[in-house]
């Protein structure tokens, strides 16, 4: 599936139809991370590398913490298909890909702090340090403070020292950058709206909104299907899986609140959906003809991708 993703996404990139940069606003001190790469091919290459890294890190994360009980390639196939369903998401690097990748990196640290209140402060500091650092380039990263803090609470890793570690983590990047003379506090920028709706055509806007609505609805449908079985898991696995509910709610809420920048949260929503599909296929492995859903799903994503060429 990885090879299919590379071939199809490169064809979409080479067509030149989807190379219009979708600006997602600015950060606290720098303007529009999406345009830092100047050359379109570099943007496409970085995005492809990040998408494949997301899948690789998820496999490694699951091998370590087994939140999905069985080894499965359903997650990777689903995530890649969803990214291909909207050609704009697979032909250029955008903040959303970076945000989703950061979420994976954070999970590697967060999951290891389960019931480790006395020794988790360094990892908590590092997580919020990364969030603050990324927020210099894109304000949307600051919103991750909420799900990440909730996640550490779920892991039972937060005490008073943990709260202080989070606060110092958020302050330190700005303090260092100002102290080293890399940024001037007087040049701080106010949040700016993105331009996703301006780039899309009138026909593409309803298509992508319908797609987002369907992904959001089916994410919670699969969560509902999975929850009764997950509740029978040991507490640690229940906690890990509950974090994906937080991420799904976060991505949907932020898409509504920050709707002009909805592309920023697209990859994260696709990621949450893919996790739930993989869970469902391992939990309900004895259901006959369950492959029919995946066939229909893949065909729908393929049809969506092709449709964008004509919208």
Nearest of 254, 283, 257, 282 to residue 268 by alpha carbon: 254
pLDDT in tens, 81-134: 999 998 888 988 888 899 999 999 999 999 999 998 888 899 999 999 999 998
pLDDT in tens, 143-185: 999 999 999 999 999 999 999 999 999 999 989 988 888 877 7
Tell me the C-alpha distance between 239 and 236, whole Å. 5
Which residues have a Cβ under 8 Å from the Cβ of 138 and sit 6 or more positions away? Answer: 24, 25, 26, 27, 32, 33, 95, 98, 99, 264
Q: Compute the Cα dihedral for 298, 81, 208, 276 and give only its sign.
A: positive
**Helix axis angle, 121-135 to 95-110, nearest 10°:** 170
The pLDDT, as a whole number, for residue 135 is 86
The pLDDT, as a whole number, for residue 190 is 66
Residue matched to tokens 């008073």? 160
The pLDDT, as a whole number, for residue 260 is 79
As to burial, measured by CB atoms within 10 angstroms (0-12 exposed, 13-18 middle, 19+ buried), residue 64 is: exposed
The pLDDT, as a whole number, for residue 97 is 92
Q: Compute the Cα dihedral for 55, 58, 62, 63 and give only its sign.
A: positive
Confidence of residue 23 (pLDDT cuts 50, 70, 90): low
Mean pLDDT of 20-33: 68
Are 267 and 58 spatial neighbours (Cβ–Cβ below 8 Å)?
no
Q: CA–CA distance from 113 to each of 15, 199, 204, 238 (Å)?
A: 46, 42, 43, 15
pLDDT in tens, 183-238: 777 776 666 665 666 777 778 888 888 888 899 999 999 998 888 888 888 899 99
Give the 3-state secondary structure of residue 311. Answer: coil
pTM for the full predicted model = 0.92
pLDDT in tens, 226-277: 888 888 888 999 999 999 999 999 999 988 888 778 888 999 999 999 999 9
Domain boundaries, the chain: 2-307
Are 256 and 198 spatial neighbours (Cβ–Cβ below 8 Å)?
no
pLDDT in tens, 276-302: 999 988 887 766 677 788 888 889 999
């Amino acid at each position: 599936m990885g090879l299919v993703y590379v071939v199809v996404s490169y064809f979409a990139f080479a067509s030149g139809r989807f190379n219009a940069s979708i600006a997602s606003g600015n950060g606290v001190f720098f303007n529009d991370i999406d345009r830092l790469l100047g050359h379109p091919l570099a943007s496409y290459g970085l995005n492809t590398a990040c998408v494949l890294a997301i899948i690789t890190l998820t496999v490694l994360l699951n091998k370590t913490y087994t939140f999905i009980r069985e080894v499965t390639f359903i997650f990777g196939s689903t995530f890649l298909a969803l990214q291909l369903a909207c050609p704009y998401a697979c032909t250029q690097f955008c903040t959303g890909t970076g945000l989703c990748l950061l979420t994976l990196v954070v999970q590697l640290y967060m999951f290891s702090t389960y019931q480790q209140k006395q020794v988790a402060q360094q990892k908590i500091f590092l997580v919020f340090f990364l969030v603050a650092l990324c927020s210099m380039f894109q304000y949307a990263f600051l919103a991750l403070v909420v799900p990440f803090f909730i996640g550490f609470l779920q892991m039972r890793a937060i005490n008073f020292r943990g709260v202080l570690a989070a606060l110092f983590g958020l302050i330190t990047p700005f303090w260092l950058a100002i102290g080293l003379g890399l940024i001037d506090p007087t040049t701080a920028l106010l949040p700016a709206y993105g331009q996703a709706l301006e780039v899309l055509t009138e026909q593409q806007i309803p298509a992508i909104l319908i797609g987002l609505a369907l992904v959001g609805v089916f994410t919670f449908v699969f969560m509902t299907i999975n929850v009764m079985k997950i509740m029978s898991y040991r507490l640690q696995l229940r906690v890990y899986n509950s974090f994906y509910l937080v991420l799904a709610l976060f991505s949907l809420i932020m898409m509504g609140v920050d709707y002009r920048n909805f592309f920023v949260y697209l990859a994260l929503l696709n990621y949450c959906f893919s996790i739930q599909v993989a869970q469902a296929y391992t939990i309900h492995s004895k259901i006959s003809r369950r492959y029919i859903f995946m066939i229909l799903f893949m065909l729908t994503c393929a049809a969506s991708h092709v449709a964008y060429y004509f919208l």
